[in-house]
Structure 1
């Protein structure tokens, strides 16, 4: 899943694509490099990011959504949003998945809106909002609490009619770098939900803070953790660098019996 950030303030500076020229170039590159999904987002979810309205978020992403749908009908298009009005808009345009970082906590109506269009939904673990989540990372038992909180939202999503749900543990959301690594160590536990598992650790602080580098130098660390994630049951890798992720998946697959 190739990340298409249509924002001026993403945590990783090379992924800031606030002009349509940059968005088009990145979409073309992701597809050429073998992306299965494009995940388009217009709301920066870095800790402390400034809140924007639904109309501004739609304005940021509408070119990328329409260009991707029209130019690459064979590619699945996801939109990364937790605002229900944005979800409604992009679903009406024909996108194939809603990727909700809040797991329905911020706008619960996003469940029924997505269910009405019968498309998959990514339910991610987070506490609070991007503006408050950094202060909400106190846990008595990290793994247990994340699973219980995800499970509660999963029940609500299914009650609203959602059937095709993907689980995302939410690395970097209401979790510090040490907690992210601890949660990653127990990634297999999320298979208990019997849902596909999405892992999004691309160039995140759990990598660059651990290695004492910065996001620009964290591609190698991303590839290492993506390989481990595949071993632990990940079904979707959400990444900034599609070419390297495709190579990771190819080599991982061919060393596990798929030699041809």
Structure 2
């Protein structure tokens, strides 16, 4: 899953692809490098990022989704949003998957809207509100906490008719460095192994900050961790560096 940020303020590539032509060229590059999905996001979720309304997200996305679908109809597009209105817009433009960092907690109509579209849904674990999503919580056992929260949420999804679910443990969202390395070490136990698992560790601070490096300088370390989670059963890698991740997948 190649990351396409349509944002001026993302932590590692902000401003590079926030017009339709540049976005299409970047999508083409990632698809040629082997991306199966393009994950489009109009709102940065890094700490202290600018907060956008649903209307502003839609304006920022523009025709990017439909342009990519027209040029690359076989490529799946996931839309990274927590707004029901943006999901409706994305559905009309041709998205294939909803990627929601909020677990449906930031917009009371989000999950109902996903159910109406019948699209697959990526359920990510995060804190309960936009304002608190990066507050560090001291988990005694992060895997136990995830496996307490995920079944409750999945039961809610099933009641709404959302049955095609991918689980994302939410690296970088309200978790300590120790929590995140435990998640990697015990990734096969997340969600009791019942659902496809998406791992999004690309350019995350729990990797680069302890090393004193920049987000763009940790490709080797990231691929080593990617190898580990894939060998433990992860199904999808959400990445900035598609070619390197595709090469790794080809080796396994």
TM-score range, shorter chain: over 0.9
The Cα shift of 1:16 comes to 4.2
Which SS does the other structure have where 1:39 is aligned? strand
Counterpart in the other structure of 1:27 = 27
Correspondence 1:66 to 2:59:
no
> Shift of the alpha carbon at 1:162?
0.2
- Asked if 2 retains the 8 angstrom alpha-carbon contact of 1:42 and 1:61, the reply is yes
**Corresponding residue of 2:148:** 148
Paired with 1:239 and 1:160, the residues of 2 have a C-alpha distance of 30
Q: Note the 1:163-174 alignment, pairs <5 A.
A: 163-174=163-174
1:53-108 CA deviation, whole Å, 9 max, x = no partner? 10110111123211111111011111001111101111122210000011111124
1:42 aligns with 2:42: yes
TM-score (normalised: structure 2): 0.94
Q: Structure 1 stretches of 5 or more lacking a match?
A: 253-260
After superposition, residues 12-161 of structure 1 pair within 5 angstroms as 12-13=12-13, 16-161=16-161
Aligned CA distance change for structure 1 residues 193 and 229 (closer, same or farther; 3 Å): closer
Deviation at 1:139, TM superposition (A): 2.1
Q: Deviations over 1:96-142 (max 9, x none)?
A: 00000111111242222112222110000000344322224232332
Q: Which residue of 2 aligns with 1:162?
A: 162
User: In 1, distance between residues paired with 2:182 and 2:156?
Assistant: 27
Distance in structure 2 (CA, Å) of the matches to 1:130 and 1:20: 27
Runs of 4+ in 1 over 4 A off after TM superposition: none
Greater shift in the superposed pair: 93-102 or 58-67: 58-67
**Count of aligned pairs:** 252
Moved more, 127-136 or 189-198: 127-136
Q: What is the match of residue 258 of structure 1? A: none
Q: Does 1:251 find its partner at 2:251?
A: yes
8 A Cα contact 1:208 1:215, kept in partner: yes
Structure-1-length-normalised TM-score: 0.92
How far apart, in 1, do the equivalents of 2:210 and 2:231 lie? 21
What are the ranges of 5 or more consecutive residues in structure 2 without an aligned counterpart? none
1:256 maps to which residue?
A: none
